[in-house]
Chains A and B, each alone.
Chain A
Amino acid sequence: MSTRKVSLTVNGCEYSREIEPRKLLTDFLRDDLGLTGTHVGCEHGVCGACTILLNGELVRSCLLFAVQANGAELKTVEGIAPNVTELHPLQEKFWALHGLQCGFCTPGILLTAEALLKEIPKPSEEQIREWLSGNLCRCTGYQNIVTAIHEAAKTLNSDK
């Protein structure tokens, strides 16, 4: 099968690879770039585990071909923390408030939450739930996730 060259930036690093045009962006991130923090839960765009940011927009990486991301800037869960020792306030609050159990949905939820807080710095509980409605979590019942996002928003706002 013929290949195409894909060049893109993920979490500030530039990558260039020759790949089959049919390769999904999720598989490209996970298998070609070794960024396995982006998870695959359904492969049909419902569960949200594969959520990443593409040029600042929330997307399902399982519904995109890698070639569609050529030239784009991506952010995945590996790029959320400011460095290897510190955590982002969202990660801190998820840890402190038990906003995760098995952790499989967590990467997609963190990116959704980050995008939410960028757009709505002080979201209401209703708004948080609405934004989360595209991310399935089978472990937590969501309440602790909602609370963690709420608390992280407070931290981020007080930092400003």
Chain B
Amino acid sequence: MPYIGSRVKRKEDVRLLRGIGKYVGDIHRPGMVHAAILRSTHAHARIVKINAAAALKLPGVIGVLTAADMPGLKTIPMRTGVIPGLERSQQTPIATTKVRYVGDPVAVVVAENRYIAEDALELIEVDYAPLGAVTDARASMQPGAPQLHDATPNNIAANFQVDVGDVDGAFRQSDLIVEEEFSTQRHSAVPLENRGLVAEWDEGRGLLTVWGPTKMTHTNWRILSELTGLPQSSIHFIEPEVGGGFGARGEFYPEDFLIPFAAMHFRRPICWLEDRSENLKAMNQSRQQKHRVKIGVKKDGTILAMDAEILFDMGGYTRTHGGVPAISASAMLRGPFRVTNYRCNVFCVLTTKTPVGTYRSPGRYEANFVRERLLDMIAHRLNLDPADVRRRNLIRHEEMPYDLGKHPFHYMVYDTGDLPGQFERALERFGYERLKATCAAAQLEGRAVGVGIGCFVETSGIGPWEYARVEIDNAGTVVLYSGCNSVGQGIATALSQIVADELQVLIENVRVVHGDTAKVPYGNGSNASRSTVMAGSAAVGASRKVKDKLLRLASASLEIDAADLILRDGRVVARGAPERSLNFSELARLALPGPALKSGITPGISEEDFFATDKRPFPYGVHVAAVEVDKETGKIKILDYLVTEDVGRKINPMIIEGQMAGGLAQGIGGALLEEFVYDEDGQPLSTNFMDYLLPTAMEMPKAQFISTEDFPSPHNPLGVKGAGEGGITAAGAALANAVSNALGVEVKKLPLKPDYVLQLVKDAVS
């Protein structure tokens, strides 16, 4: 039975279940000391003076570093999401003259242990001259607002437009035009393991080793080389176990420079482990956008045009992602619907808050909320069923591949799928019609129960390339060296399934190596639901080349034509004569340089492959939610929930459902609980888990997750579409629509915390 498509138990799990997996905090090097980072307590201020004298006197303190110790500091470059203009507001790894958010690194203390390092932080005196905070994106663009970066007037880090069709003409043809403003709140990935790094400088050999990089190991390897001036061959990155990523972990952060720099400066192995309060101030935040959208429709609900303005709150600096959440929101605001006339004006705006980056389904979670709310508002205004408005506009199977029209920074051709079919099955499975009637009846009795839909198209599998090398070792083990990374999603298992099927071996005999720059020369990492698509496809290519080599080696040795040989159970076997065979270990021995060179064969069984594409698959699906609102307390209870998603082809259904369930939990958190609150001085108020609320087992409903493989993607040999983000992407949309339905109101912002819900209850009465 093939492994692909099976619910294979994960290869990663046993060590994690036994508590013997090694995360970065579990790495210990001889002579290792600890770093702690002094962070700005001001949202926006000039640094007048830093006095570390008292800290340096504390026994156990090895040293203190500030920008003055790092001449020639460069800013951290964007690796993606590059919009012209953003380069003016990139961040230096440590504040030089100004701080621009509470949490901006100001000094690094290195001490014998972390307790002493933290004691020393309190002894460093910093004089700040406050420059005024601005925490609202719209206010930040106004004349007179405090300006964060000299080169960026009005705090507009970048601005771009999308313009497709004839928007003005289409509005003139519209029977109804609705214009609304929506907003989504600042929240983010918040993985359970905080960030951390261990860096060790081998002065004698001139080799810097760093444990802890993940997600983009090879990209960060290059960035560190560029920032330090050390050649990449003098830097070795090693990815340990990773306690969750979700987009935020593994980007190149200030500490990714500071800790290696400190290790070289002090010539000691240095460990830095972020604490949670730091994490909630320093790790990329996300999701804070304001959308003002005008939509024109015909009486039957057919969409004629959309005109949107998006304000993307960047925080104090441009980080490695550039403008990805804004690009993605402007690209995917149309979602699964036929919107032939579309305009979008996007402003990336700096504010004196923690910088932002991507979080699982960046920009799309926001855009889905906005669009799906608008569709329900249109349905209410035209007295149509929300489902019928969607039916009227869903892109049909026969229109695929569907080109949405040019976007300056995003690939825009949907590959394949039957969106209406998926939609109808989801509603049927959920019992939408029956539930709608039940809710309406209950509402007449005074109960606030409602049902809401959120349709989505996701983007996944971003290129432009991925690397794989497959080798057969002396024991006959198949080893895959992959350019992707693990962020806890189970990628080693999925890739093993793919390779085991290609080479007809037991999955136990496949080993996956990733995230180690000494063993894997190239990689593009794990993000944008790309690992199975890109790394999986590269693994297929390399495996097929290895298969050829195995057959050639066996053919020469057995003196049987390669066409008459097959792979079976870890052996190359003669067709019809199974007693004539060689196992992989025997073939590896034949390929050793000694015998191979004598027979004119290139030594080794090791083949590389790159899978390259500029196209992307687009998974799609539907969220449907049923909720009850407690009108006294504002609490929302999720009665039932369904997520469906077409993923093209399932490698491991168990892992896919796990991704959907985990995504939904985060989507529910984002819709109902999670928010980074700042006061008007830019002070963060959500810096612990009592104030930043993550969903617990009590908040999670028992939900249904249906993944389908009806329409394999034509863009890769496996037919897969990424499956990491469908579970989260329309959760805000479906829950906001369900709450609107329950209360008979129009939700216009997230999160649906009790204070906002109680306001909605009041609005409903008046």
Q: How many A-B residue pairs have CB under 8 A?
A: 170
Task: Say yes or no: A132 contacts B690, CB within 8 Å.
Answer: no
Q: How far is the CA of A130 from the CA of B85 in the complex (A)?
A: 50
Q: Given A87-B14, A136-B192, are A78 and B20 neighbors across the interface (CB < 8 Å)?
A: yes
User: A30 CA to B20 CA in the complex, in Å?
Assistant: 12
Q: Is the CB of B19 within 8 A of A138?
A: no
Closest Cβ of chain B to A27, distance in Å, is 8
Q: Which residues of A contact B703 (CB under 8 A)?
A: 141, 143
A78 touches B696 (CB 8 A): no
Bound Cα distance from A142 to B19, whole angstroms:
19
- Are the C-beta atoms of A42 and B688 separated by less than 8 Å? yes
Chain B residues with CB under 8 Å of A81's CB are 17-18
Q: Is the CB of B192 within 8 A of A101?
A: no
Smallest distance from the beta carbon of B545 to chain A beta carbons, Å? 32
Among residues 95 to 144 in chain A, which have CB atoms less than 8 Å away from a CB atom of chain B? 95-96, 98, 100-107, 110, 128-130, 132-144
- When C-beta atoms are compared, the residue in chain B nearest to A103 turns out to be B16
CB within 8 Å for A143 and B700 given contacts A41-B194, A43-B275, A102-B244: yes
A46 within 8 A of B: yes
B700 touches A138 (CB 8 A): no
Please tell me if the beta carbons of B689 and A146 are within 8 angstroms of each other in the complex.
no
Which B residues between 98 and 151 are near A, CB-CB below 8 angstroms? Answer: 115
B409 within 8 A of A: no
A20-B115, A102-B193 are known contacts. Are A140 and B9 too (CB-CB below 8 A)?
no
Binds B, one of A31-39, A53-61, A66-74: A31-39
Flag if A95 contacts B664 (CB, 8 Å). Answer: no
- Which A residues lie within 8 Å of B191 (CB)? 102, 104, 138
In the complex, are the beta carbons of A42 and B19 less than 8 A apart? no
Contact present for B243 and A78 (CB under 8 Å): no
Check A46 against B244 for contact (C-beta < 8 Å). no
**Residue from B10, B244, B688 in contact with A95 in the complex, judged by beta carbons closer than 8 Å:** B10
Q: Which residues of A contact B17 (CB under 8 A)?
A: 81, 87, 91, 94-95, 100, 103, 106, 110
Residues from chain B with a CB closer than 8 A to the CB of A136 are 192, 689, 694, 696
Per-residue 0/1 for B236-254: is the Cβ within 8 Å of any A Cβ (1 yes, 0 no)? 0000011111100000000
Q: In which size bucket is the chain A interface?
A: 35 or more
A22 to B657, CA, bound (A): 44
B192 touches A41 (CB 8 A): yes
Hey, what's the 0/1 contact readout for B61-87 against A, CB within 8 Å counting as 1? 000000000000000000000000000
Contact of B661 among A34, A129, A144 (CB under 8 A): A144
- CB-contacts of B665-711 with A (<8 A): 665-666, 688-690, 694, 696-698, 700, 702-703
State the Cβ distance, A65 to closest chain B Cβ, in Å: 12
Chain B residues within an 8 Å CB radius of A23: 115
Interface residues of B in 1-22 (CB under 8 A from A): 9-10, 12-14, 16-22
7 additional A-B pairs beyond A101-B489, A101-B490, A102-B488, beta carbons within 8 Å, are A91-B18, A101-B658, A138-B191, A140-B662, A142-B665, A142-B700, A146-B697
The 9 tightest CB contacts between A and B, nearest first, are A37-B19, A102-B488, A103-B16, A104-B243, A77-B19, A141-B661, A141-B665, A46-B689, A36-B26
Q: Which residues of B contact A (CB under 8 A)?
A: 9-10, 12-14, 16-23, 25-26, 28, 115, 189-194, 241-246, 273, 275-276, 487-490, 654-655, 657-658, 661-666, 688-690, 694, 696-698, 700, 702-703, 727
A sample of 16 inter-chain contacts (CB < 8 A) reads A37-B18, A40-B25, A43-B276, A78-B19, A81-B17, A95-B13, A103-B12, A103-B21, A106-B17, A128-B697, A138-B662, A140-B661, A141-B661, A141-B664, A142-B700, A143-B700
